[in-house]
Amino acid sequence: MSGIFNCDNTVTIIGAKKRKFADNKCPNIFPMKRIYPLLIGVLSFGVLSCEKKETPYPIPDRPASSDSMKEAMVELGADYKTQVYFSFENGVVKSLPYETWDINFTTDASDNELRVNGGKLNLIYVTDATRMSEISSSYTINSAKWKYDKPSGLSQTSGLGVLNNSAILGKVLIVQVGADKSYKLIIKDVSPTAYTIATTKGLDDNTETEFVLEKDPNYNFIYFSFEDGIVTVEPPKKDWDIVFTRYRYIYEKYNPDGSDFLYGVTGVLHNPYNTMSAGDSLRTHDFYTFTKDSLDQHMELQTNRDVIGWNWKSVDINTAKYKVNSKMVYVVKDQKDILWKLHFYGYTNDAGQNGYPKFRYEKLK
């Protein structure tokens, strides 16, 4: 026997007449405690059977590169005074003020060059004098003949060129340091193992101090300060991959008179020792999906030290804060022939101060 409980306190027996029960009571064959669960079950089945089945939304896969990807922030400071050497294997190797040095000399046995600190906007001038006493602060300088180095850092791109048997040897050189200091310098001798130089404390000082700068092949350069003498700046050349620093960029023949426009920038240079880098100035790329195939198709590894450079960031003139283009991807091939990809995603610290580059990097697959 089966039946349906009605809203008017009656029960319709299938195949029989409707019967009514007083006091909202049902006969024992249909006790309420049995009917309610039955109704709930039926209604639930009806609701569930009418609902549209949903396909579970798949959780997106984590980018394949995330497992080995690393993040770093280097501290240049709000005034950009700090120079930071960085290794992809070991992180920050060394930090020091970029103004520590004025000039440097290469340590190669045959490729002898002098470079000035472009971050300080230093310049060098070649005079015809051979004695310090011939030059003073009253000496007339032709401003068009100041020399400076190209930011690529390649051999023979220094302002003075290769010094081997050069006519520059023995001449009095004027080195302008920053905007308000100048010193006299004579390169007396260049050999496979050392440089011999003489300096004074200013243009009106004729007291020479001689220094022998011995070449150490474990380093790329010998650094020199006119105030402090020989200074240690970079780590051993096998210990680092890139350096965050202040240097000079050149807009060639940009000025109305056809001269170069010299511009001080803060950016990234790669290690000149057995290191190369690549970037794409025409296209943007997604860091996470960038592969060796992307490198082969769109980039070319170069020895120019300033490939990464400085224009991965730009200033927002409304906020005076830097904006970073995270779609600019770079590749560095280190001394072990390992390829690393990197991109920048920030330039401020938690306090909102500029001068704190943030970047992601990992081995290129």
| Cα maximum dimension of the chain | 134
Q: Return the closest-CA partner of residue 149 out of 308, 270, 271, 260.
A: 260
Residue showing tokens 């992180």:
91
What tens digit of pLDDT does each residue of 18-51 get? 444 444 444 444 444 444 444 444 434 444 444 4
- What tens digit of pLDDT does each residue of 279-319 get? 998 899 999 999 999 999 999 999 999 999 999 999 888 88
pLDDT tens digits for range 163-217 = 987 899 999 999 999 999 999 999 999 999 999 999 999 999 999 999 999 999 9
Q: Are 65 and 288 in contact (CB under 8 A)?
A: yes
User: Is 148 in contact with 101 (CB distance < 8 Å)?
Assistant: no
Strands (E), 29-90: 70-73, 82-87
Phi, psi of 190 (to 5 degrees): -130, 130
DSSP state of 55: P
Question: Cα 263–264–265 angle (5° rounding)?
Answer: 115
Which pLDDT belongs to residue 275? 98
Among 3-7, 298-302, 349-353, 359-363, the least confident range: 3-7
Q: Count of residues for the chain?
A: 365
* pLDDT tier for residue 11 given thresholds of 50, 70 and 90: very low
Sign of CA dihedral 232, 165, 118, 331: negative
pLDDT, tens digit, 9 for 90 and up, residues 109-146:
888 999 999 999 999 999 999 999 999 999 999 999 99
Instruction: Take residue 48 and report the two structure tokens written for it.
Output: 């569930």
- Cα–Cα distance measured from residue 84 to residue 190, given in angstroms and rounded to the nearest whole number: 30
